[in-house]
Structure 1
């Protein structure tokens, strides 16, 4: 993650995808303009209204404290301030993207049933994550309710005489998605 810091504001140069309770070490690098020369710089991290103790920068870098990644769905705020000759500069805040929820990779794999057919398991996962028969039927009904009808020229190669009837389409859909209850 990189943050540009000017005299009175800061903005993200490069954001990082922060994940809750991650074991990854997230490094923040700051790019200060000349107005910050001679200041000893510190950073304050805040998530979900909880502020962490200040972190002193080393070579204009620091690590995001793990405590900041305990809660997903909230933004991380990073405040930068400096001290020079006993005078403290006002804190400048920068907002990062939201901390993402951690996902258990095992939940992404379809469940395996002993002796079960893997094809059936995959189809079950697809069925659970797709439209219902009613939603499919409604979409098809909407799509085919146009007023256009093909011309009646059987010799026209653009208008073949072998198109399916509404009943044939419904039979095919029932074969694929099952009968309507």
Structure 2
């Protein structure tokens, strides 16, 4: 499993099926933003089985650790959090809002595994294994200056110096007329050559041009790609909010399939690719993008969150130290065949037409046997 940590927020970016009775198999990998630099980090695994909570702490090595087997309880919901210590500062995250359910495995009737050691014993084990070394000692005193060595060989030739000042422009060459304006081209005439305006037209069509007023715009395309960019500077003045942490930034209502593969960017510069695991919490056509954004298709209460929304649209997260700043996604737009010329659309065929070819019959394309 993989998790993203931004400030004191944490969310799964990749999940996997967890089975009870599994020992030393599952690995949790964490990606931290710059605010966690210099911290000693410990993961906290919390399994809730019908009100009975089992927690274990595991010291992170290389921002990863094994999932403790004591928390792999059949039927339990597993959430993960992290806390870090730097000097006298302790910084925890929240627990992941979307838990992973533990499936029942064909485990032994009695566990023979040793319990996961406490954090103190984990540190002792790491020190005894030589993975942690003490700080470097102070620099020693400066030694006596030695005798000068023999003269070395001649060095390589240095780099070429800077280019000199440009000289005065010479006279125009034979056959090149004076004058002309920006954008004109030199053309051959009956009397020699002359500066003339370029011929009109000849613009290269661009299938990615979506501005209908542009010279390279292609009309009546059967399909084209369109990119949507939603940006926010974090200013909540005048915005519709929900629960004090979500604010409406756009009236656009994309479908879940539209945003998959897109990118969420946070104000600290972290950019995260949107995967299906990040859009798992839904309510009708409304859905979340991890903890960073909500797409509200119908006003009302989002059932899984319990938040009330008075307007539809895209809502971004606003935290104390970081906020969602940008959502970018693309989609392919298609044109209804009824808007295309009749000779641009092939006739409909079925499996009964297998092996046939298209042929013009009475002025109409028709599938016929060879």
User: Contact conserved, 2:24 with 2:66, CA < 8 A, in 1?
Assistant: no
5+ residue gaps, structure 2 = 108-370
More strand by share: 2
5+ residue gaps, structure 1 = 105-181
Per the alignment, residue 29 of structure 1 pairs with 29
1:65 maps to 2:79: no
| Structure 1 moving runs of 4+ over 6 Å | none
Per the alignment, residue 99 of structure 1 pairs with 102
Per-residue deviation, 1:16: 1.1
User: Equivalents in 1 of 2:24, 2:37: separation in Å?
Assistant: 31
User: Equivalents in 2 of 1:56, 1:24: separation in Å?
Assistant: 15
RMSD: 1.7
State the structure with more CA Rg: 2
Per the alignment, residue 87 of structure 1 pairs with 89
TM-score (norm 2): 0.26
**Which protein, 1 or 2, shows the higher relative CO under an 8 Å CA cutoff with sep ≥ 6?**
1
Secondary structure of the corresponding residue to residue 13 of structure 1: strand
Per the alignment, residue 77 of structure 1 pairs with 79
More helix by share: 1
Per-residue deviation, 1:24: 5.8
User: Contact conserved, 1:47 with 1:74, CA < 8 A, in 2?
Assistant: yes
1:11 maps to 2:7: no
Secondary structure of the corresponding residue to residue 89 of structure 1: strand
TM-score (norm 1): 0.53
Q: Tell me how many residue pairs correspond in the alignment.
A: 102
User: Equivalents in 2 of 1:19, 1:80: separation in Å?
Assistant: 22
User: Equivalents in 2 of 1:8, 1:23: separation in Å?
Assistant: 29
Secondary structure of the corresponding residue to residue 35 of structure 1: helix
